[in-house]
Amino acid sequence: MITGSIVALATPMKVDGSIDWQALRRLVGFHLDNGTDAIVAAGTTGEPTTMSFAEHFDVIRTVVEEVDGRIPVIAGTGANATSEAVELARYAKDVGADYCLSVCPYYNKPTQEGLYQHFKAVAEGADMPVILYNVPGRTCSDLYNETVFRLAELENIVGLKDATGNLERAEELVDRLKGSDFMLYSGDDATACDFMLMGGHGDISVTANVAPRSMHELCKAAVAGDNETAHQINTRLMPLHTNLGIEANPIPVKWALNRMGYVDTGIRLPMTWLSEKYHSTVGEALQMAGVIDD
């Protein structure tokens, strides 16, 4: 079981939009040096929906190679075509990823039975541990708790990333799945501290891209039930949690990583570079978190 801070890794790109493989390897090293507990490669923060299959595969493979078994790698393998999601998951297994993260199909708006059958097919076809990913604000597809409980009974479905930000739903998940091996992760940095304090196992985090050490310490404290320490760190990071969503992810976090000197200014359309009016807001959040000096 993975516990702690799991970075939803941004994919570095050059000005022309091509993937910056050298910068990607440097970013992995940055996380290995700063306590990140696991890495999601080519998750939604990594812009896989604008990548070719070959690029998507190569990002996963590169991260697996660079990590070299030191921490778990979770491959983003979601797709709105079930067959494509299965193919991506099979590739992730072949190159040595430890888990796959499969997002609810976007745009299609399937029923709960359709979601159940989709993830059942992924679990059976992938032959590797699958973490479900529910982010209805991005997909227009909401995986209800009752469907999660059904899926949790299936072999190979081992966890959930819940990015709803709804702590009442999270509390029900924790209560119903307590005592099982099913892993529950927040996918919403602003509410992740409370999610973990009520029994969640970690946070699949955007903030961890820029503040990996602090997110590791926050998650460590929260998972251990250290309310005071967790909230103290979380208060310092809250401006990042909030303002890394000031425009659609990963726009602000790529700007922040560029401000820190880790990535170039590459991002792929239809995403655009962070609006100038938000530069000072995100910069101040980085300062408040102790990530940059000025």
Annotated binding site: 45, 204
Distances, alpha carbon 244 to alpha carbons 11, 42, 44, 51, 256, in Å: 16, 18, 14, 22, 8
Catalytic residue among 99, 116, 161, 220: 161
Distances, alpha carbon 44 to alpha carbons 133, 180, 191, 207, in Å: 10, 27, 19, 14
Q: Is-catalytic flag, 133? A: yes
Q: Is-catalytic flag, 161? A: yes
Annotated binding site for pyruvate: 45, 204
Q: Decide if pLDDT at 294 tops 80.
A: no
Cα 51 to chain centroid distance, Å, stands at 17
Q: What is the mean pLDDT of residues 14-19?
A: 97
Catalytic residue among 91, 133, 185, 262: 133
Distances, alpha carbon 235 to alpha carbons 1, 7, 47, 230, 249, in Å: 27, 19, 29, 9, 21
Instruction: Report pLDDT for 293.
Output: 85
Contact 86/120 with Cβ under 8 angstroms? no
* Per-residue pLDDT reduced to its tens digit, 90-141: 999 999 999 999 999 999 999 999 999 999 999 999 989 999 999 999 999 9
Domains of the chain: 4-224 (3.20.20.70)
Distance between CA 16 and CA 264 in Å, rounded?
A: 10
Q: What is the mean pLDDT of residues 251-256?
A: 98
* Per-residue pLDDT reduced to its tens digit, 180-193: 999 999 999 999 99
